[in-house]
Amino acid sequence: MPDPKIEKASDVIVKIGAAGVCRTDLHIIEGVWKHIQDPDGTLLPCVMGHENAGWVEDVGKDVTEYKKGDPVILHPLISGTGGTCLDCRRGNDMHAAAGAFPGLSIKEGGYSELLKTSVKNFKFKSFQKF
């Protein structure tokens, strides 16, 4: 897969430092979710991994609160509405409208060196205290 590039003003490229393996990843490997994830074979090839942490590598022009080198933990779901849908406003962001998971409904996941995401996907700016 080619390295990701900034395309939108809110895009952020993260250098992955760690990516968790969850049961979802194992379901994908086992083919359990093929009928949901990729029924017509259009998602392959893909890179799995939706539980990610790392460091900011590059930012879009509208991203002012993060800079290269900042450590970040990413939310597993990228909300297509930027947190403004009803579920997000109720704190139920795992059911966000137009949500997408890296490595599931988006081809590029965290089992790679670099991951393009949205600044809205950031959960924590620093994990050094954890």
Mean pLDDT computed over 38-61: 84
Query: Tell me, which fold does domain 11-124 have in CATH?
Result: Quinone Oxidoreductase; Chain A, domain 1 (3.90.180)
Contact 109, 103 (CB under 8 A): yes
Most confident region among 7-16, 70-79, 90-99 by mean pLDDT: 7-16
Q: How many percent of the chain have pLDDT more than 70?
A: 83
Residue matched to tokens 């965290």: 110
Measured CA to CA, the distance from residue 118 to residue 18 in angstroms comes to: 18
Contact 28, 87 (CB under 8 A): no
Q: Model-level pTM?
A: 0.80
Coil, strand, or helix at residue 35?
Answer: helix
Which tokens is 35 given?
């009928």
Q: Beta strands of 1-130 (E only): which ranges?
A: 11-19, 52-59, 71-74, 114-118, 122-124
Between residues 121 and 10, which one has the greater pLDDT? 10
Q: Answer yes or no: is pLDDT of 46 > 90.
A: no
Partners of 45 in beta bridges = none
Confidence of residue 43 (pLDDT cuts 50, 70, 90): low
Contact 125, 71 (CB under 8 A): yes
